[in-house]
Amino acid sequence: MINMRGKLGGLMAAMLMSSMGLVEAIAPLTIKGNKFFDSQTGAQFYIKGVAYQLRARTDPLVDKDQCALDAALMKELGVNTIRVYQTDYSANHDDCMKIFADAGIYLFVDLANYETGINEDNPYWSQDQLSSFAATLDAFAGYENTVGFWIGNEVITKSAGERAVYFIAAAVADIKTHIKNKNYDHPIYIGYASTDNADTRPYVQNYLACNHEGFTDRDSSIDFYGVNAYEWCNPTDTFETSGYSRLTGYLSAAQYDIPAFFSEDGCNTSPPRLFEDMFSVFGPNMTDWWSGAIVYEWINESNKYGLVSYGMVKDPSTAVGGDPYERSGTPTPVTPDFSNLKTVWASVSPTSLTLSAYTPTNTQVDCPASVSAWNIDPSASIPTLGDIATSMPASTNTAASTTTSKPNSASLVKISSWPVAVVMIITTFMSMY
Ligand SMILES: *[C@@H]1O[C@H](CO)[C@@H](O)[C@H](O)[C@H]1NC(C)=O
Ligand SMILES: *[C@@H]1O[C@H](CO)[C@@H](O)[C@H](O)[C@H]1NC(C)=O
């Protein structure tokens, strides 16, 4: 009896404290100016993230045992954020999201899957895409540790694909209307993860953040900007030689008024990975403009970017698609890469502001003027639902891509490469019979 009363009393106290907001595993992040802050403590937040996708087309946030194993090791590494690419909006994510919240880990999720992403070679924006984006957003927006969503990942990879930028802006506008209608109890932010393409880089960065014809209050503009950066490749690289100074220059030239960070980061052409770029990312040359980085990637697979390994499958004949990498189980740190990153992250101490003491002065960027390298009309109305590419001002650009080296991840096979692969499989299959 006495025991029972004690338990009930404790439970009621916990419920009361929870309803008063006193028991909060993790506080939502908030954006002010070009920085992230913890909404409860007011401390500035820098992203120390990893890309978390164990298998292509499979949601990594549904298996609570796996999430628990990974979250514990991520915490040891110093991770405070994960980026997840492919999820299943019909699945239940409560357990995994709580496990990551308890480990102090925030989440950025991609809205597009392989079928729904905007395609630069044939851009359009449809109700099917919007419905799918909205369902993914609704599946995660309620969790306190969800910070925001990617409206697209590396959609534009070449000048000739620039017209897709109109459709990305249209997607931002419609998904922001959806967020407003849903009235979530903490801010939900929308960003774009850009390819590090020399031809389109500053234009995409600024066009997606500017205000478009017929809109106000960032209703069609992104709230944060990401670059997938693979430029710091040599052990002797510096802020200048790596190209990080140039990427920083694009933000300072625009006096960029929203947070930016590396939505993927790393280069592995000179193993082992030293992660010395983190001294720049979290150092005085970059912290005025950047809020950290998401290191690519958690699992070690054929692209060799991984920080942990689950080993190889024991019986290759059971391997999915011939892929020999185990995608679950106990994660084992890749040596010495894992401990290199852990040591570097533990040793950086970026300058830190507080929410109340910070008064942003930058204002929203202008839409970039149309120039020969960027044939996008800054004052054109962005498409509405159902529009297709030919309804927008044409691009005359045919320049080839000059994107810097990027991983060729099994997790991130682009939709544009599927038809060819599928055709090859079918052809091979048919020739066998
Ligand atoms: C910052 O930039 C200066 C000038 O390029 C350079 O000398 C210095 O090493 C850089 N600091 C870091 C931490 O990258
Ligand atoms: C990571 O994967 C690559 C590619 O298969 C492999 O060569 C390397 O040995 C792996 N590293 C570890 C530590 O598992």
Ligand 2 centre distance from Cα of residue 202 (Å): 35
* Per-residue pLDDT at 390: 73
- pLDDT of 281 higher than 90: yes
Which CA distances in Å does 377 have to 118, 165, 210, 214, 228? 19, 11, 13, 14, 26
Ligand 2 centre distance from Cα of residue 304 (Å): 6
Do residues 128 and 171 touch, judged by C-beta distance below 8 A?
Answer: no
The label of the residue with tokens 């997790």 reads 411
User: Per-residue confidence at 37, pLDDT binned at 50, 70, 90?
Assistant: very high
With the most atoms of ligand 1 within 8 angstroms of its CB, the residue from 242, 245, 280, 351 to mutate is: 280
Q: Is 401 in the pocket of ligand 1 (CB under 6 A)?
A: no
Ligand 2 centre distance from Cα of residue 300 (Å): 6
* Per-residue pLDDT at 417: 31
- pLDDT of 429 higher than 50: no
- How far, in Å, CA of 328 to CA of 299, rounded? 10
Per-residue pLDDT of 361-392, as tens digits, reads 999 999 999 999 999 999 999 999 988 877 78
Which of 409, 414, 403, 416 lies closest to 158, judged by CA? 403
When the pLDDT of each residue in the chain is averaged and rounded to a whole number, the result is 88
- How far, in Å, CA of 252 to CA of 365, rounded? 11
User: Quick one: which atom of ligand 1 is closest to the CA of 244?
Assistant: 14
With the most atoms of ligand 1 within 8 angstroms of its CB, the residue from 245, 279, 280, 285 to mutate is: 285
Do residues 81 and 48 touch, judged by C-beta distance below 8 A?
Answer: yes
* Per-residue pLDDT at 403: 52
What pTM does this model have? 0.88
| Closest residue CA from atom 14 of ligand 2 | 309
- Side chain identity at residue 250, one-letter code: Y
* Per-residue pLDDT at 398: 60
Among residues of the chain, what percentage have pLDDT more than 70?
Answer: 85
With the most atoms of ligand 2 within 8 angstroms of its CB, the residue from 304, 310, 332 to mutate is: 304
- Give the mean pLDDT of 202-231: 97
Which range is least confidently modeled, 33-37, 172-176, 341-345, 388-392?
Answer: 388-392
Tokens representing residue 69 in the block: 């194993």
Tokens representing residue 427 in the block: 């052809």
SS3 433: coil
* Per-residue pLDDT at 397: 65
User: Per-residue confidence at 237, pLDDT binned at 50, 70, 90?
Assistant: very high
| Closest residue CA from atom 10 of ligand 1 | 239
Among residues of the chain, what percentage have pLDDT more than 90?
Answer: 79
Which of 120, 144, 154, 301 is flagged as catalytic?
A: 154
Per-residue pLDDT of 245-256, as tens digits, reads 999 999 999 999
* Per-residue pLDDT at 387: 82
264 is catalytic: yes
- Give the mean pLDDT of 194-216: 96
- How far, in Å, CA of 135 to CA of 80, rounded? 25
Which range is least confidently modeled, 198-202, 215-219, 409-413?
Answer: 409-413
User: Per-residue confidence at 404, pLDDT binned at 50, 70, 90?
Assistant: low
> In the chain, how long is the greatest CA-to-CA distance?
81
Per-residue pLDDT of 146-168, as tens digits, reads 999 999 999 999 999 999 999 99
Do residues 151 and 191 touch, judged by C-beta distance below 8 A?
Answer: yes
- pLDDT of 431 higher than 70: no
For residues 191 and 428, which has the higher predicted lDDT (pLDDT)?
A: 191
Per-residue pLDDT of 70-117, as tens digits, reads 999 999 999 999 999 999 999 999 999 999 999 999 999 999 999 999
User: Per-residue confidence at 220, pLDDT binned at 50, 70, 90?
Assistant: very high
Length of the chain as a residue count: 433
User: Per-residue confidence at 315, pLDDT binned at 50, 70, 90?
Assistant: confident
